[in-house]
């Protein structure tokens, strides 16, 4: 491994962050390190500890111009079996193939945080009188319930009528090469727990019982076969998936009294929460079921159409890597869904996502220096 002092500033910082075991919602002083660096660069700092979650908001520049925010999270998912890793998950090693390894968020997403911070340090030094503001919104609650992290900070910023024009979220958006894909939106996520009630009884006397499995099966099949929408130029059609199905007492001679089905919609801007809920209810009623649904909305769909932010990011990727980027709305949810509620243009740009949440999470170390340059050029295009 290359000596720490011989590495680029971005890689040095990434390794320092990865070596802190910040399993959600623990921050392990990652934010303390970041705030120290940002404070030294002249940023105004505002720690926001909400319940058991560490967050901070930092700004540099003028209050009368556009705001470009870098957003991300210091928390990581659990390591899984440590013995399955080639090295300690928090060692942050660069192997003989130039891969930076570590559960501390090599890909998701301390590598991006390091690149954002180093790019911003350099930008405010090179352009001390830049237009508008550079901001950071960092949380330790993205990989967990996400109640007291970015969502809560955004609510506070909204109450203060803070301006937030553009936001780059450091999620690992790239597929094969850094910058080949950026996310310019995400589908909404609407979950549900459905309970279908029957009447428990003996399997030998079915006329005295109502089997909720038999009753629910046609309705579930219809829900699975339903065409919810056609999607649009930016989003694929809305999907419906059943993830859990439970019924029965464990005995082979008992008709169960109820059935529970857990399902999820990943929905486009062509559908609404209310519309999906009404259509589900109509199908369940059509089959004459005794049912109840508990709904859980994780996030609404959002979209950043071509404009100043997407143009600046795409041009920077082209200038640094020579490749055209593809804007995509695929994948799961991110904290971008909360930031977009302010009317902010949001894109996600980060390292290759091939190993996120896997054992031996890793990225090409040199990609973080490329990412730093892309962030730096984007800052120049929007605020210099």
Per-residue pLDDT of the chain (384 residues; tens, 9 = 90+): 555 768 999 999 999 999 999 999 999 999 999 999 999 999 999 999 999 999 999 999 998 899 999 999 999 999 999 999 999 999 998 999 999 999 878 999 999 999 999 999 999 999 999 999 999 999 999 998 899 999 999 999 999 999 999 999 999 999 999 999 999 999 999 999 999 999 999 999 999 999 999 999 999 999 999 999 999 999 999 999 999 999 999 999 999 999 999 999 999 999 999 999 999 999 999 999 999 999 999 989 999 999 999 999 999 999 999 999 999 998 888 999 999 999 999 999 999 999 999 999 999 999 999 999 999 999 999 999
Q: How many CA atoms lie within 13 A of 247 on its CB side?
A: 25
Among 198, 205, 286, residue whose Cα is nearest residue 248: 198
Instruction: Find the catalytic residue in 75, 143, 361, 369.
Output: 75
Q: What is the pLDDT of residue 249?
A: 95
Return the DSSP state at 236.
Answer: P
Specify the pairing of strand 362-364 against strand 302-303. Answer: unpaired
Q: Does 162 qualify as catalytic in the annotation?
A: no
- How far apart, in Å, are the Cα atoms of 7 and each of 1, 10, 369? 10, 8, 10
Instruction: Find the catalytic residue in 121, 142, 361, 369.
Output: 142
Q: What is the pLDDT of residue 3?
A: 56
Q: Are 26 and 74 in contact (CB under 8 A)?
A: no
Q: Are 184 and 363 in contact (CB under 8 A)?
A: no
Question: Cα–Cα distance between 274 and 87 in angstroms, integer?
Answer: 48
Other beta carbons within 10 angstroms of residue 99's beta carbon come to 17
Question: Cα–Cα distance between 283 and 285 in angstroms, integer?
Answer: 5
Q: What is the pLDDT of residue 259?
A: 98
Token duo for residue 132: 């508008």
Question: Cα–Cα distance between 106 and 365 in angstroms, integer?
Answer: 9
Q: What is the pLDDT of residue 125?
A: 98
Q: Are 382 and 309 in contact (CB under 8 A)?
A: yes
Token duo for residue 317: 């990727």
Q: Does 75 qualify as catalytic in the annotation?
A: yes
Q: What is the pLDDT of residue 2?
A: 55
175 torsion bin: left (phi>0), alpha (psi -120 to 50), beta (else): alpha
The angle, 0 to 180 degrees and rounded to 10, between the axes of the packed helices 9-18 and 30-40 is: 150
Specify the pairing of strand 93-94 against strand 99-101. Answer: antiparallel
Question: Cα–Cα distance between 144 and 26 in angstroms, integer?
Answer: 10
Q: Which stretch of DSSP H or E encloses residue 372?
A: helix 365-383
Q: What is the pLDDT of residue 188?
A: 95
Rg (CA), the chain: 24
């Amino acid at each position: 491994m290359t000596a720490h002092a011989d590495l680029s500033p971005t890689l040095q910082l990434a390794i320092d962050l990865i070596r802190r075991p910040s399993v959600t919602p623990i921050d392990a002083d990652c934010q303390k390190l970041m705030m120290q660096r940002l404070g030294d660069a002249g940023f105004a700092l505002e720690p926001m500890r909400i319940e058991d979650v560490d967050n901070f908001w930092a700004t540099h520049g003028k209050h009368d111009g556009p705001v470009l925010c870098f957003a991300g999270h210091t928390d990581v998912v659990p390591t899984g079996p440590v013995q399955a890793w080639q090295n300690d998950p928090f060692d942050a090693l660069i192997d003989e193939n130039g891969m930076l390894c570590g559960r501390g968020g090599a890909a998701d997403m301390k590598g991006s945080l390091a690149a954002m911070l180093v790019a911003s340090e350099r930008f405010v030094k090179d352009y001390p009188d830049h237009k508008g503001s550079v901001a950071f919104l960092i949380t330790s609650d993205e990989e967990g319930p996400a109640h007291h992290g970015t969502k809560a900070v955004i609510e506070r910023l909204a109450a203060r009528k803070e301006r937030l024009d553009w936001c780059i979220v450091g999620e690992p958006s790239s597929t094969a090469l850094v910058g080949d894909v950026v996310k310019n939106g995400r589908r909404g996520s609407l979950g549900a727990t459905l309970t279908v009630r029957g009447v428990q009884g003996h399997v030998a006397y079915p006329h005295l019982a109502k089997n909720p499995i038999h009753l629910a099966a046609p309705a579930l099949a219809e829900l699975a076969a339903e065409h919810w929408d056609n999607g649009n130029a930016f989003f694929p059609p809305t999907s419906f998936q059943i993830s859990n199905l439970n019924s029965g007492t464990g005995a082979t001679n008992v008709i169960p009294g109820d059935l529970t089905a857990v399902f999820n919609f990943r929905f486009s801007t062509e559908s609404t929460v209310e519309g999906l809920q009404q259509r589900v209810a109509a199908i369940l009623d059509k089959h004459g079921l005794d049912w109840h649904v508990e709904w859980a909305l994780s996030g609404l769909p959002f979209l950043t159409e071509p404009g100043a932010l997407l143009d600046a990011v795409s041009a920077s990727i082209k200038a640094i890597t020579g490749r055209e980027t593809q804007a995509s709305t695929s994948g799961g949810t991110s904290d971008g869904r909360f930031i977009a509620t302010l009317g902010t243009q949001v894109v996600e740009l980060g390292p290759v996502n091939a190993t996120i949440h896997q054992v031996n999470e890793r990225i090409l170390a040199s990609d973080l220096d490329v990412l730093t340059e892309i962030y730096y050029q984007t800052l120049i295009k929007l605020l210099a």
